[in-house]
Structure 1
């Protein structure tokens, strides 16, 4: 297998026995089968091109019916099996692979630290099943979509607030514009604003400024939309529907700021499936679509034709992801230093900060980790930073773990500072509103004495400087 080649990873939710199938995208050859996996839509992801993580919807050793399996891609026969307190559907991870978010059928959301499996936060995010989870491109926000049509945006800094892990995180904003289940979420930051695109069974795709929560435009389709994906250049939006059609629209938001705008341009329609579209993704070779008809198509998006078809006769594909074929190779000695990364069993319940479980690492790294693993006291001091620097020269597991702990401490400090700033802003806004109310009742045609004008100007200046309101005679 050439280093630059890609592999297609697919799975179904029909039966645990079907498992995961991996194909060579260039030739269509079958590369690998991983048994024992049945994952719902949005329930499969690739972590740092080294691990596959999949939520399981069938009972398999868990009282609550939930399970999350993790496979090392270079030796996927024996997964790491974690059993959350309830069944998890959708999954999402940060770009750096440090954190994993999971959404439950109950509407609850969970956040784990992957390196030690610690459950950092659990909260009731939605009233109905949580269908989609997505971290923003810079990992600063977690976006969730539900069966109730709601979309919520959660600041990551509040999710990582370790001082009060039992409380619900702060909600940046939410939307109830969709009238049916959310089926897809994706983000792009190529334009002047950070854009979120959401799809729903109500037959619409909506484009948002997800930082402010402002609705930019709505695209209406004649059918329920079941999956969406953006072209890598982020100019074309592909929307799969319940009858197997794929609508292709130009994502042109420009300077448009009218939330009531409805895109009316006739989209290109791709037809190659006999069942509803279940998943969409992109590879270097083109668009890839999966359907309830148990087929997977790879499309040339220039000529709009199918260039390869895969048959998955064991059930409708619910998840697609593309990985480098080099991820399936055994890790060489040279790669040990640069690619070292491990994951742990995910906690079912919140655990003390210093509680750690066994980890799973690529087999070629296990020996090195066992030899050098030690118990360290992590403190945010100058000596700690020097210790990390010294360990980094050797690329030891201790260095990786210490950097993670230091990152958490820094984020806790940032959380406290953010809360303080937010409280100050709230106080200042309240005082400014009081001033505006007073000025609304000032007579406009009466000449105000110079002494009073000076007193008013001094009052306004004190507000901007954060001083106490001066006492003035009426």
Structure 2
């Protein structure tokens, strides 16, 4: 706990973002005029804060996405997507960022270059939750009508369509919840990737992402507004509208049939006077942090269930909270040298044609931490990229790392396109084989018919020869 910091924000821009020392309660940083709806705040690689902001006072519900380095209060980058973005989520390595819109559309960007890789219509109602699976293979989306969809990440990275529009086939489509989705937690599970979902219908459900099976169903008497599980995936924490936090055992072993667990089997934490809006754990799992519309965040000892500290967000209720390493806030040259700042660019409004087909990787401007302005944009061929990697293999410069990222992206696209080409060849070969088999069967049938006719004629001839004249 002594090495971690708590980051919270409210929905109103005037509320701003506040960062506290989790152990002492001291304010470490305040970012003014910034607010996000629930699930609209995250931290890329524990280095860069990202927040989506709806501007309801402007026409057409305009919005923006802000990026901050954790040791500066000025935004390092501001992007203005084609439409307002509510919930956001990122892969663990910070390479991809997804965002959901009130229109039901979803977007996925490549953070380093800012490229919009895909826009698709995910739901008929506004999106309110997004997450990646534990292994980053799937994207899960949830909407206000209670529907949930699972998308294969590889299908979202398909960039042949320059318009990036239209529909994308979902792997799973669930409608068991009958009210707005309020939370997702990705679980590793002993049986494969799983998902924990919560809803205002008062239920928390555990799903197998691959098979689509419902594994567990936790039923409560009041709306569930936030969920979390401990790092050991043994306990489920469900925050309710009445300010209570219910604690249930979470057995993620192999289950043949779904299990329904009632509220009577739960423990309860009392500490808030308003609806719970967010829950999170410290990295070690010893402490739970809860936030509420009562403008406070509470720190709980998981072993004793005691309330250790209360944080007060003076300018409004809290909609989001995350826990980050306190070292991320340090701005010393030594720390900067050990931990390179992630690169990110302005997010595109629309999809652009990829340079991957020409054998060129474009490395777009990364943010220069020291000078506070974008560095130059340049392009390198594949052969030159490989040569520079070999020449700088024993160094650890930002340029070398950026070149490696570029080559990795190009290789990933090449593998994806080659896989599609091979699949196309296989389908063609299968079609040819089927045609050949069909032709062979027809030929065999024709030959059998001819033989039968020949035998019949021979039999008739023999009968005519044997019959007396």
TM-score tier after normalising by the smaller chain length? 0.7 to 0.9
> What residue is the counterpart of 1:136 in the other structure?
133
| Deviation, structure 1 residue 63 | 6.4
Number of residues paired by the alignment? 432
> What residue is the counterpart of 1:80 in the other structure?
77
1:322 aligns with 2:323: yes
- Note if contact 2:191-2:254 (Cα within 8 Å) is conserved in structure 1: no
1:28 aligns with 2:25: yes
| Deviation, structure 1 residue 193 | 2.1
Give the TM-score of the pair, scaled to structure 2: 0.84
| Deviation, structure 1 residue 327 | 0.9
1:60/1:404 Cα in 2 relative to 1: closer, same or farther (>3 Å)?
Answer: farther
- Note if contact 2:295-2:318 (Cα within 8 Å) is conserved in structure 1: yes
Where structure 2 has 5 or more consecutive residues not aligned to the other structure, the ranges are 356-361, 449-469
- Note if contact 2:243-2:276 (Cα within 8 Å) is conserved in structure 1: yes
> What residue is the counterpart of 1:375 in the other structure?
378
The correspondence for 1:11, drawn from 9, 14, 17, is 9
- What whole-Å deviation, never above 9, does each CA across 1:91-124 have from its counterpart, x for those lacking one? 1111111111111111111111111211111111
- Note if contact 1:75-1:363 (Cα within 8 Å) is conserved in structure 2: no
- What whole-Å deviation, never above 9, does each CA across 1:74-97 have from its counterpart, x for those lacking one? 223244211111111101111111
> What residue is the counterpart of 1:405 in the other structure?
406
State the alpha-carbon separation in 2 of the partners of residues 5 and 62 from structure 1: 43
1:425/1:291 Cα in 2 relative to 1: closer, same or farther (>3 Å)?
Answer: farther
Counterpart secondary structure, 1:360: coil
| Deviation, structure 1 residue 313 | 2.8
1:391/1:272 Cα in 2 relative to 1: closer, same or farther (>3 Å)?
Answer: same
State the alpha-carbon separation in 1 of the partners of residues 240 and 404 from structure 2: 44
Where structure 1 has 5 or more consecutive residues not aligned to the other structure, the ranges are 431-461
- What whole-Å deviation, never above 9, does each CA across 1:424-460 have from its counterpart, x for those lacking one? 9999999xxxxxxxxxxxxxxxxxxxxxxxxxxxxxx
State the alpha-carbon separation in 1 of the partners of residues 239 and 423 from structure 2: 41
Higher-Rg member (1/2): 2
- Note if contact 1:243-1:275 (Cα within 8 Å) is conserved in structure 2: yes
State the alpha-carbon separation in 2 of the partners of residues 181 and 429 from structure 1: 46
The residue correspondences of 1:373-452 to structure 2 (distance < 5 A) are 373=376, 375-379=378-382, 381=383, 384-416=385-417, 419=420
State the alpha-carbon separation in 1 of the partners of residues 273 and 377 from structure 2: 57
Counterpart secondary structure, 1:343: coil
| Deviation, structure 1 residue 282 | 0.7
1:262 aligns with 2:265: no
The residue correspondences of 1:264-283 to structure 2 (distance < 5 A) are 264=262, 266-283=265-282
Mean CA deviation greater in 37-46 or 209-218 = 209-218
1:337/1:327 Cα in 2 relative to 1: closer, same or farther (>3 Å)?
Answer: closer
| Deviation, structure 1 residue 408 | 2.6
| Deviation, structure 1 residue 407 | 2.5
The correspondence for 2:87, drawn from 68, 73, 90, is 90
- Note if contact 1:275-1:293 (Cα within 8 Å) is conserved in structure 2: yes
| Deviation, structure 1 residue 125 | 0.7
The residue correspondences of 1:164-313 to structure 2 (distance < 5 A) are 164-165=161-162, 166-167=164-165, 168-259=167-258, 261-264=259-262, 266-283=265-282, 284=284, 285-313=286-314
Counterpart secondary structure, 1:247: strand
- What whole-Å deviation, never above 9, does each CA across 1:355-397 have from its counterpart, x for those lacking one? 7765434337x69x85xx5623232x5x632322324544344
1:360 aligns with 2:359: no
The residue correspondences of 1:100-119 to structure 2 (distance < 5 A) are 100-119=97-116
Give the TM-score of the pair, scaled to structure 1: 0.83
